[in-house]
Amino acid sequence: MKVADGVWRPLFSTLVLVFCLSFFPGGSSDLVSDKLTLVNLQRDLGGRALRWNLSLDSPCSWLGVTCRSGGVTELRLPGAGISGELPLGIGNLTKLEKLSLRFNALSGSVPSDIAKLALSELHLEGNFFSGPLPEFLFDMKSLVRINLGENHFSGEISPRFSNLTKLVVLYLENNRFTGSIPELDLPTLEQFNVSFNQLNGSIPEKLSGLPANSFEGNSLCGKPLKPCNGAEIVDKKKKKLSGGAVAGIVIGCVVLLLFILAILLFFFRIKSRGEKGSKEMTAKSTEHGIHNAKSRIDNDNSSADYSSSSAAAAKANAKKSGGNRSLVFFGNAVRVFDLEDLLRASAEVLGKGTFGTAYKASLEMGAAVAVKRLKEATVPEKEFREKMEEVGRLNHENLVLLRAYYFSRDEKLLVYDYMPMGSLSALLHGNSGAGRTPLNWETRSGIALGAAYGIEYLHSQGPFSSHGNIKSSNILLTRSYEARVSDFGLAHLASSNSTPHRIDGYRAPEVTDPHKVSLKADVYSFGVLLLELLTGKPPTHSQLNEEGVDLPKWVQSVVREEWTAEVFDLELLRYQNVEEEMVELLQLALECTMQYPDKRPSMAEVTKRIEELCRSSSHREDNVMNESYFGTEEGI
């Protein structure tokens, strides 16, 4: 019997466990399935922006993932830098209640299998989704909050929204919707916005009690906007135009058309002449359009002001030195342009930095690249080329990658990916007028994390792989506000007198030679950058700072007086639910800007702590939204 007991007892225990699990629907099997679905999602979206630790058995600790009842119930990936078309598969997260993919760069249509989910919240705003709204949306009767704003959705707004009887929030602004607003019967609706579409007609009576800014940017009339009567009178007057007025309009259009044709013919002839002499002119200057743009902001610098005679001299020098008049490319990318294409490109000045002037070069084939023209790069050719090879090998999603370079005795050009949203400095300080878009906590913390990832990667390349020039104008942004670190690897190429005082506000106190910046000095500069994000103030000697505030000292003095709230940018104080995370980031910034280098954390530690507070703020935001929209229903 003892042997029999030894055989049957484990088997009996297993049967009991299986029997018990059968009373709990889903259980761990749901998490296994959900993890597989999320892994496939990461793979289909490129896997670069979703930094999930796939070695963990459960996805519940991944950033943006919340679990309850043995399955994934919330997926929140706002501002994560993901792009492309959203694949099928999310519908396999059978317990998902809340989906937020806002402020990314997703495009195409919304996948149809989302219809299988009992979602209460759907946030897709700030992407590039297009086409008409999917019909399955109007059958998802558990939806309470929908935000589809700032996309490219088109077509008419369907009256079937009235099917969603639980709807409290409906945002459709900044799309391409046409037609009129239908009569919507939504008894629980509290927030509604269709501003800046292509809508016309009158506003339905049931929506007339909403604020006027819910409808602005359209051709709408009626309460709360202007009455429709005035618009009808104007329309009648337009219909009653006299025959003479119609004839005058026709004659005017014909004259205008002939004038436009004459202008086009004139420019066509000029272009034809220019093409005949293009071969003679390609060596006339190492910049062409780039130089012309630069001369408008740098005409006081005679060493950078090329006349036709000095261009000819540059050409002669290149021949004497055996200079190679071609771009040196990195990676395996297809060479879709060459040096002559770059020199013929139209140029737009992006900014004048520590090491030279940057331009946007619009190539004839339609693509755009950023070109930096180095000023006073005094190192020998061999050392320059070796440094460029070193920089060109660096490859990380949070760096502005060096695609190609050109070297001659008189000109040194670097070609980078073009970042359409500009720099963090411009975003923070460039527009303080009424039209400024507030920079929220979610975006700022995401930028801080992306920049930290990029700098940590640089530091991982060796003990002498510091950036050397970290500042907000060197943090560039993608369309989804993901940070890209630029200007790395250039600090020791410039002469000692070419590093202006305007970066002193970011420079660690121990740095005396701008060409020799340690990793911990980089941490100090990054700490100043964090303070700039939190306070909205540029540091001392910044081109934008007229107050002369030494940012670390000012923040330390305010915190010592226990007035911490006075430190934060007023735009951030509106987000009261993330005050704890804001204070944590402020404390980290102060640790980074400690006077003694050995008291500063490493970039690896800095990145880890920013990751943790981003995760914490995401969870806190979710809890606040739960209380706001489900508090009464759940008895909270």
**Candidate CATH numbers 3.40.50.10090, 3.80.10.10, 1.10.3720.10, 3.30.1860.10; the one for domain 28-221:** 3.80.10.10
Which of the pair, 346 or 32, is modelled with greater confidence? Answer: 32
Beta bridge partners of 191: 169
Q: How far is CA 222 from CA 200, 207, 569, in A?
A: 11, 10, 38
C-alpha torsion 353→357→362→367, nearest 10: -50
CB 357 within 8 A of CB 301: no
CB 422 within 8 A of CB 339: no
Q: How many CA atoms lie within 13 A of 2 on its CB side?
A: 0
- pLDDT at residue number 339: 78
CATH number given to 420-621: 1.10.510.10
DSSP assignment, residue 161?
Answer: G
- What percent of the chain has a predicted confidence (pLDDT) above 70? 72
Which uninterrupted H or E stretch holds 370? strand 368-374
- On the question of pLDDT at 374 being above 90, the answer is no
- Range 595-622 average pLDDT: 85
- pLDDT at residue number 12: 44
Q: How far is CA 381 from CA 70, 242, 271, 339, in A?
A: 62, 75, 37, 19
Maximal C-alpha separation, the chain? 114
- pLDDT at residue number 164: 93
Reference 397, options 488, 523, 482, 487; nearest CA is 482
Beta bridge partners of 152: 130
Task: For tokens 């205008």, name the residue.
Answer: 256
User: Topology of 327-418 in CATH?
Assistant: Phosphorylase Kinase; domain 1 (3.30.200)
Residue range 182-202, pLDDT digits in tens: 999 999 999 999 999 999 999
Strand 145-147 versus strand 65-68 pairing type = unpaired
DSSP string, 552-572: HHHHHHHHHTT-GGGTS-TTT
- Range 159-163 average pLDDT: 93
- pLDDT at residue number 632: 40
- pLDDT at residue number 202: 94
- Range 287-315 average pLDDT: 38
Q: How far is CA 359 from CA 422, 445, 495, in A?
A: 12, 28, 22
Which of the pair, 272 or 326, is modelled with greater confidence? Answer: 326
| CA pair distance 324, 407, nearest whole angstrom | 8
576 burial (CB, 10 Å; 0-12 / 13-18 / 19+) is: exposed
Give me the residue spans of the domains in the chain: 28-221, 327-418, 420-621
Residue range 240-294, pLDDT digits in tens: 555 666 777 877 787 788 878 877 877 766 655 544 443 333 333 434 445 543 4
Residue range 129-146, pLDDT digits in tens: 999 999 999 999 999 999
- pLDDT at residue number 325: 59
- On the question of pLDDT at 572 being above 50, the answer is yes
Q: How far is CA 123 from CA 5, 7, 142, 372, 413, in A?
A: 57, 55, 14, 39, 43
The answer to whether domain 327-418 and domain 420-621 are alike in fold is: no
Binding-site residues from annotation: 372
Beta bridge partners of 372: 358, 414
Average pLDDT of the chain is 76
Task: For tokens 């739960």, name the residue.
Answer: 626
Q: Provide CB contacts within 8 A for 138, sequence distance 6+.
A: 158, 160, 161, 163, 164
Q: Provide CB contacts within 8 A for 131, sequence distance 6+.
A: 108, 109, 153, 154, 155
CB 142 within 8 A of CB 163: no
- On the question of pLDDT at 19 being above 70, the answer is no
Residue range 38-81, pLDDT digits in tens: 888 888 875 555 668 777 778 888 878 889 888 999 998 876 66
* Dihedral sign (CA 36, 39, 45, 46): negative
Neighbours of 609 (CB within 10 A): 17
Checking 226-230 for CB contacts under 8 A at 24+ apart, the result is 228/202
CB 398 within 8 A of CB 484: yes
Structure token digits, residue 407: 């070297």
- On the question of pLDDT at 315 being above 70, the answer is no
Residue range 418-429, pLDDT digits in tens: 888 888 988 888
Reference 383, options 287, 274, 526, 489; nearest CA is 489
Structure token digits, residue 590: 């102060």
Binding-site residues from annotation for ATP: 372
Q: Provide CB contacts within 8 A for 182, sequence distance 6+.
A: 156, 157, 158, 159, 161, 204
- On the question of pLDDT at 517 being above 50, the answer is yes
- Range 330-344 average pLDDT: 71
SS3 track for 74-119: EEECCCCCCEEECCCCHHHCCCCCEEECCCCEEEECCCHHHHHCCC
CB 181 within 8 A of CB 201: yes
- Range 145-160 average pLDDT: 92
Reference 553, options 588, 590, 597; nearest CA is 590
- pLDDT at residue number 292: 46
Reference 586, options 427, 440, 448, 428; nearest CA is 448
CB 360 within 8 A of CB 423: no
Reference 339, options 277, 409, 399, 413; nearest CA is 413
- Range 381-395 average pLDDT: 87
Beta bridge partners of 404: 329, 415
Which uninterrupted H or E stretch holds 408? none
- On the question of pLDDT at 231 being above 50, the answer is no
3-state class (DSSP) for residue 467: coil
- On the question of pLDDT at 87 being above 60, the answer is yes
Split at pLDDT 50, 70, 90, the class of 393 is: confident
